[in-house]
Structure 1
Amino acid sequence: MRHNKKFNHLGRTNTHRAAMLSNMACSLIKHKRIFTTTAKAKELRKYVEPLITKSKEDTTHSRRVVFSNLKDKYAVTELFQEVAQKIGDRPGGYTRIIKTGNRLGDNASMCFIELVDYNENMLKEKVAKKSSRTRRSSKKKVSEDTSVVEETQATEVAPEASVSEEKAAE
C-alpha cells in the first residue's frame, strides 16, 4: 500500500530525477526562463524556491547547502550575487508558471517557468496598471477641468471689463 506517498516520480529513478531537477534549476538560474512540461515545472518550483530562500542569507553554510543541491559553481555564484539581490525583499513566490498549450508529438501539457522579477514585459504591465485611471478619478478630473475652464473664462472677462470701465471714466 502507498499511504501518504504523494510524490511525482516523473517516470524516473531517484538519482535520475535528482540530477534532472538539479540541471533544470541551474538552467533556470542562468537563463531566468525555461520551457518544459507542466509536471516538471511544478516539481522544479518545489525544488528551487527553498534554494532561492537560502540564498538570501550569504553565509558559507548556505552556499554549501545550495552547492550540494545544484553542483554548478557558476549557477551558485549567480544565484547569490544577482538573483538574491533582486529578490531580497520578496517573502516567497519567486517563480511563475505560465501554460503554453500542448506539445505536438505526445500532447504533453507544456509551459514555461521563470523567475518573477526578471520578466520585463510583466513589470511594464504592472507599472502601466498602476498609472491607469479609474472611474472615480476620471470624474474628479472632469470636474477639475471644468473649474479650470471657468477660472480662465473669468480672468479673460475681467480684463476686458476693467478696460471698458477705464474708457467710461475718461
Structure 2
Amino acid sequence: MRHGRRVKKLGRKKEHRLALLKNLCRALFIYEKIETTLQKAKEARRLAEHLIEFAKKNDLAAKRRIYRFIPDHKLVKIICDEIGPRFSERQGGYTRIYRLGPRLGDGAEMAILELVEQSEPDAIDARRKLIERRALVEEKPKKEKKKKEKPKKEKKEKKEKKTEKPKEKKEKKEKKRPKKKEAKKKAKRVKKKAKAKKKKKRKK
C-alpha cells in the first residue's frame, strides 16, 4: 500500500520518471528557467530545492549527493560555487512556478519553473556554451578502422574447392551403388534356392 507516498508517477515507471526529473533539474541549473507541464514542474521543483540545500553546504559529501542526480563534474561545481552561495540567506523557496495556461495541442497545463535569484544573462549564456561544448567533445565519432581487402585470387581458389567437393561425393555414391545391386542379386539367389529345396521335399 502507498501510505505516505506523495510522488506523482507522471505516467512513467520509476527509472523513466527519475531520468526525466534529473534532466529537468540539469536544464534548470544550466538555463535557470525551463518551460514544461505543471505537474512535471512541481515534481522537478522538489528535487531542485533538495539539491540546492546540499549546494549551500558545499562540502565533499554534499557534492557527492548532487553528483548522484547530476553526473557532470563541471555543472556540480557551478551549482556549489555559484548557485548555492546565492541562496545562503534564504531558508527555502529557491524556485518559483508561473502558470501559462493550456497547451494548444493536447490542452495540458503549462508552466515556467525558474530560480528566484537569477544570474545575469551573459553568465547564463557562457555556462550554456561551456556545457554544450563539453557535450560535443564527448560525442565525437570514433575513427573507423579501414578493413584490409583480401586479394581476389583467394576467393577464386575457395570457389574451386567448393566445386571439387560435390564431385568427390558423387564418385563415392557411384561406388556404393553396385554393392547394393550385388547384395540384392545374392538375396534373390538365396530365395530361389530355398524355394527349390521346398519343392523337392514336397515331391518326395
Q: TM-score range by the shorter chain?
A: 0.5 to 0.7
- Number of equivalent positions: 120
1:91 to 2:91 alignment = yes
Bigger Cα displacement from structure 2, 83-92 vs 111-120: 111-120
> TM-score of the superposition, structure 2-length normalised?
0.56
Distance 1:119 1:41, change over 3 A: farther
Letter in 1 for 2:50: P
Match in the other structure for 1:40: 40
Shift of 1:50: 1.1
**Which 4+ stretches in 1 moved above 6 angstroms?**
none
* Consecutive unaligned residues in structure 1, runs of 5 or more: 121-170
SS in 1 for 2:117: helix
Percentage of matched positions with identical amino acids: 38
* Consecutive unaligned residues in structure 2, runs of 5 or more: 121-204
Q: Distance in 2 between matches of 1:4 and 1:80?
A: 31
Which whole-Å deviations, capped at 9, do the CAs of 1:38-87 have from their partners, x for residues lacking one?
Answer: 00000011111011011111111110011011112232111111111211
Match in the other structure for 2:102: 102
Q: Please give the root-mean-square deviation of Cα atoms over the aligned residues, in Å.
A: 1.6
Structure with the bigger RCO (C-alpha within 8 Å, sep 6+) is 1
Shift of 1:2: 4.5
Letter in 1 for 2:15: T
* Bigger CA radius of gyration: 2
